[in-house]
Structure 1
Amino acid sequence: MEQFPIFLNLKSFPCAVVGGGEVAFRKITALLKAKAELTVISPELSPELQNLLAQKKFTYIAQAYSEALIKDMRLVVAATDNETLNESIYHYCEANKILINAVDQPSACRYTTPSIVDRSPVVIAISSAGASPVLARRIRAMIETSLPKSLGEIASFAGSIRSKVKAKFNTIDLRRDFWERFFTSSIMTRFDSMSSQDKSELVERLLNKENTGGEVWIVGAGPGDEELLTIKALQKMQYADVIVHDRLVSQNILNLARKDAEFICVGKEKNLHLKKQDEINDLLVELALEGKKVCRLKGGDPFIFGRGGEEIETLVAADVPFEVVPAVTSASGCSSYAGIPLTHRDYARKVVFITGQNSKAGVEPDWEALVRPYQTLVFYMGLTRADLIKQNLVRLGMAENMPVAIVEKGTTPQQKVYIGDLAALPEMREKYQIGSPALLIIGEVVNLHNKLAWFTPEKVEADTSFINIK
């Protein structure tokens, strides 16, 4: 460890920044946030610093640097564009036991400033000891995604009940047990939506070691690419005690979940249901009533042919707290990665999502409404009905040469895009044994694929052998 990490209280601490430009502004802003007693030394100030000076945020010495100006300081930042001057400031500070940081000059620093995740009073600092500040910022961004935005408020609330916890439990072990239960309770996930009474009641149940109840999060996993997960989806996956997931949620996505969580696959595919939908609904309720935090992870978006509404109806009936985390839906993700815009003012002014799987026998799509000019059709789970889709659309007037695209395993390294026309649709499916998941797109916008396709997975060559199949 080249540097010792330390958090320094700068309140009423005499600090100086030498420099008045953009770099100095960034350092000055951070020091002011830490309530430093700040002096800025520079012949000129940037407009941003002039604005802060007008607000009397710091003391300003409108002079070129001299040693006498920093002799009473305890911390100095050299933020000029003159490396020789910064070196000189460094040597003076070293000789006079003043903490010194010369911006972007690691050899002229007694201390370095870390990349900071600020959820005051919680502060996380990441440092590369000056070797790679950009990497430190990247790590900060990774950490930011895993922390709830209300973390600082949660920490303050925890501080407000410490005396009550100490009075209730007279040993360190008992208090530690309480805090473990507190920070794994719904306080971490529903703090913003809880009333003051809700929070107080939760604390009382925790103090009395009662079951505080579970909750369920209906979370969209997106179309396949794990980098398309939302920040909130990732947070829920990392907080959950149990991950109840579909078969098509990839292992790469599951690997991002909490490592010690219980994983239950309830996936469905044609002619194989690990669990019926009613059983899944009941399972979510059962797990929540056991006091567990349950992440119901669904491919695509939960509210677009994902049966999220059905599962929530069951949770409402059982009075189980829940939250819905929407996602990049399969239609949006797969079409984007295939270079096929769902709408385009020259080709499509409307997009229609249709499911190929109907829940009620005999209920069919409004085929006549689907045969309209200037619209794009997106069929979810429609390949097994390719013949029926072609027959009905052609019967009602859609041209047999209407462009179609089948996007297989969209947004993943295994993505393939098959291009043809409506007449060739059943043949495409049968001849090439296209696997699941696959999305069917029908409309003039498909013609844009060759021009706009941008995603070519490294492990799968772009396949154009299906263009203009007859």
Structure 2
Amino acid sequence: MTTLPLALKLANQPCLVVGGGEVAWRKIQTLLGSGARVVVVATFVSEEVREQCSAAGIRVHERPFRDDDVAGALLVVAATGDPAVNAGVQRACEEHRVLVNCVDDAEHSTAQFPAIVNRGPVTIGISTQGTSPTLARRLREQIEALLPDSLGPLATYLGGRRGQVKEALPESHARQKFWDHALDSELVDLVATGQIDRADERLSEMLTAPVKAGIVSLVGAGPGDPDLMTLKALHRLQRADVVYHDKLVGAGVLDRCRRDSRRVDVGRRSGDGVDVATRQASINSRLAADARQGMRVVRLKGGDPLVFGRGGEEIAWLAEQGVPFEVVPGITAGLGCAAIAGIPLTHRDWAQSVRFVTGQVHRDTHPDWPELAKPDQTLVVYMGLRALRRLCERLMGAGAAATMSAVAISRATLPGQRVVPGTIGDLGDRVQEAALEGPLTTIIGRVASFARMDRP
């Protein structure tokens, strides 16, 4: 990031616009909307702009730009359409240490106009640092569609009650928890429908009642691509006080967390000497302890939290301890892998059922290999890189044909994803030749013949 987003308070501040055409007028309108005192200097001013400036009470000087025009201005806009004139404005601003926006010239601008979403007093600016104004506009349109018109009145209402809340709750952390609780309550709807008296009554009730206890959210991060998280998962990450995440949860997902949340990597590390049971007991205790302190705790897992992720053990512990919890499902790896490889997990003629199995079988577990080897189903194997050869051998030993289609998928939905198709008779060799790395998911069955290699 080479620019710092700032909100300039321009009310009654002097601003200069150099230029008298359509582009200049658009900038003038933006500045007027912020309450700025605008002066225009231009060699040529269109009749339309002259009339509009006159109606708005803007002084217009129809003459060439002079360096001393920028003196005393807080912000200058160069919008002449003449690169030489704009360059002269930029030099003058640099000499006088005045912020300047050169239209369509980010390199020589020390200030840039973002695409603006206005839900006054809530204002959102989107900037691409001058690289693509069209992209910024598209992002603005998407955000506009998400934000209700009632957001502005809500912000005004909350701002008017800050003093009341601060007096009742002098400790900053307590206030933050209170406001989070208030924004999850019916208070928002009361303000949106103009029922201000009832909103005030509800606010007073919440100030005298204890804020509800913390909660643990078991959240599925999906198969890897952050865009494949659910909206509810994103919402929980953005409100979490602390996030306990597995090693396989990528940086792209973690970047969606609230900036001031505490992030704790509790993933297993090879050779650290900590057995699985001890590690899980430690995680369980930390989840419960933080929730009892009133925190919003997220236990973030790759894929879906209840598919091969020890989520069942964690919710059993939380229930036993009386700790509130919820489960936010995610796209499990098997579904994500099938999607990027173009494989239908079920098929009217070839696969009437799907089985999810793990390649890391507990030593006391004895899989029903003849059942797994049946040809009219799809077998999805999680975490099976090391055991792939042995798995394929056991399936063939149980009656599966060596020519049965199979596909190994590495780093699904992430940069560098790989799709290696084959059969259970040769997939082990193909994976070794391709030097695939984990996490690896293997899909076995007739439907695996749909696989497309190394999709971008």
Pair in the same fold by TM > 0.5: yes
Do 1:126 and 1:140's aligned partners in 2 also have CA atoms closer than 8 Å? no
- The residue number in structure 2 matching 1:349 is 352
Where do 1:366-381 residues align within 5 Å?
366-381=368-383
Q: Could you tell me which of 179, 182, 185 is aligned with 1:183? A: 179
* Residue-by-residue CA offset, 1:72-127 (whole Å, 9 max, x unaligned): xxxxxxxxxxxxxxx999988777669xxxxxxx99xxxxxx87587xx9865658
Do 1:242 and 1:294's aligned partners in 2 also have CA atoms closer than 8 Å? yes
Do 1:237 and 1:257's aligned partners in 2 also have CA atoms closer than 8 Å? yes
Q: Could you tell me which of 442, 447, 450 is aligned with 2:449? A: 447
Cα distance in 2 for residues equivalent to 1:138 and 1:161: 27
Find the residue that maps to 2:31 and give its secondary structure.
Answer: coil
* Residue-by-residue CA offset, 1:421-457 (whole Å, 9 max, x unaligned): 112244445565532210011112222224xx5x644
- Sort the Cα spacing of 1:184 and 1:370 in 2 relative to 1 into closer, same or farther, 3 A: same
1:285: Cα distance to partner? Answer: 0.7
1:365 aligns with 2:367: yes
- The residue number in structure 1 matching 2:214 is 214
Do 2:126 and 2:140's aligned partners in 1 also have CA atoms closer than 8 Å? no
* Residue-by-residue CA offset, 1:212-260 (whole Å, 9 max, x unaligned): 5322221111111122222222222222111110000112221222222
- Sort the Cα spacing of 1:311 and 1:204 in 2 relative to 1 into closer, same or farther, 3 A: farther
- Sort the Cα spacing of 1:215 and 1:162 in 2 relative to 1 into closer, same or farther, 3 A: farther
Do 1:115 and 1:137's aligned partners in 2 also have CA atoms closer than 8 Å? no
Q: Could you tell me which of 289, 292, 305 is aligned with 2:292? A: 289
Find the residue that maps to 2:303 and give its secondary structure.
Answer: coil
- The residue number in structure 1 matching 2:244 is 244
Find the residue that maps to 2:413 and give its secondary structure.
Answer: coil
TM-score, scaled relative to structure 2: 0.62
- The residue number in structure 2 matching 1:139 is 140
1:6: Cα distance to partner? Answer: 4.8
- Sort the Cα spacing of 1:379 and 1:154 in 2 relative to 1 into closer, same or farther, 3 A: farther
* Residue-by-residue CA offset, 1:197-224 (whole Å, 9 max, x unaligned): xx9999767558x675322221111111
Find the residue that maps to 1:340 and give its secondary structure.
Answer: coil
- The residue number in structure 2 matching 1:231 is 231
How many residues matched? 354
Q: Could you tell me which of 280, 286, 305 is aligned with 1:302? A: 305
1:313: Cα distance to partner? Answer: 2.1
AA aligned opposite 2:178: F
Find the residue that maps to 2:451 and give its secondary structure.
Answer: helix
Cα distance in 2 for residues equivalent to 1:284 and 1:247: 17
* Residue-by-residue CA offset, 1:308-359 (whole Å, 9 max, x unaligned): 2322222222332323222221111112212323233453333221122345
Q: Could you tell me which of 279, 283, 307 is aligned with 1:276? A: 279
Cα distance in 1 for residues equivalent to 2:165 and 2:144: 34
Cα distance in 1 for residues equivalent to 2:260 and 2:327: 23
1:280: Cα distance to partner? Answer: 1.5
1:176: Cα distance to partner? Answer: 7.8
Do 1:126 and 1:136's aligned partners in 2 also have CA atoms closer than 8 Å? no
- Sort the Cα spacing of 1:321 and 1:188 in 2 relative to 1 into closer, same or farther, 3 A: farther
- The residue number in structure 2 matching 1:325 is 328
1:385: Cα distance to partner? Answer: 2.6
Do 1:154 and 1:191's aligned partners in 2 also have CA atoms closer than 8 Å? no
AA aligned opposite 2:343: I
* Residue-by-residue CA offset, 1:124-154 (whole Å, 9 max, x unaligned): 56589xx957633413535877x8x999599
Cα distance in 1 for residues equivalent to 2:443 and 2:267: 24
- Sort the Cα spacing of 1:167 and 1:385 in 2 relative to 1 into closer, same or farther, 3 A: closer
Do 1:168 and 1:207's aligned partners in 2 also have CA atoms closer than 8 Å? no
Cα distance in 2 for residues equivalent to 1:348 and 1:95: 75
Find the residue that maps to 1:287 and give its secondary structure.
Answer: helix
1:315 aligns with 2:318: yes
- Sort the Cα spacing of 1:269 and 1:441 in 2 relative to 1 into closer, same or farther, 3 A: farther
AA aligned opposite 2:317: T
Do 2:304 and 2:332's aligned partners in 1 also have CA atoms closer than 8 Å? yes
Cα distance in 2 for residues equivalent to 1:162 and 1:175: 19
- Sequence identity of aligned pairs in percent? 32
AA aligned opposite 2:352: R
Find the residue that maps to 2:425 and give its secondary structure.
Answer: helix
- Sort the Cα spacing of 1:259 and 1:358 in 2 relative to 1 into closer, same or farther, 3 A: same
Q: CA RMSD in A?
A: 4.7
- The residue number in structure 2 matching 1:410 is 412
Cα distance in 2 for residues equivalent to 1:271 and 1:400: 36
Give the gaps of 5 or more residues in structure 2.
1-26, 36-45, 58-78, 81-114, 188-199
Find the residue that maps to 1:384 and give its secondary structure.
Answer: coil
1:383: Cα distance to partner? Answer: 2.8
1:298: Cα distance to partner? Answer: 0.5
Do 1:215 and 1:294's aligned partners in 2 also have CA atoms closer than 8 Å? yes
Find the residue that maps to 1:224 and give its secondary structure.
Answer: coil
Cα distance in 1 for residues equivalent to 2:52 and 2:292: 62
Greater mean deviation of Cα atoms: 240-249 or 340-349? 340-349
- Sort the Cα spacing of 1:289 and 1:398 in 2 relative to 1 into closer, same or farther, 3 A: same
Do 1:238 and 1:256's aligned partners in 2 also have CA atoms closer than 8 Å? yes
Cα distance in 2 for residues equivalent to 1:245 and 1:150: 36
Find the residue that maps to 1:377 and give its secondary structure.
Answer: strand
- The residue number in structure 2 matching 1:70 is none
- Sort the Cα spacing of 1:168 and 1:438 in 2 relative to 1 into closer, same or farther, 3 A: closer
TM-score, scaled relative to structure 1: 0.60
Find the residue that maps to 1:328 and give its secondary structure.
Answer: coil
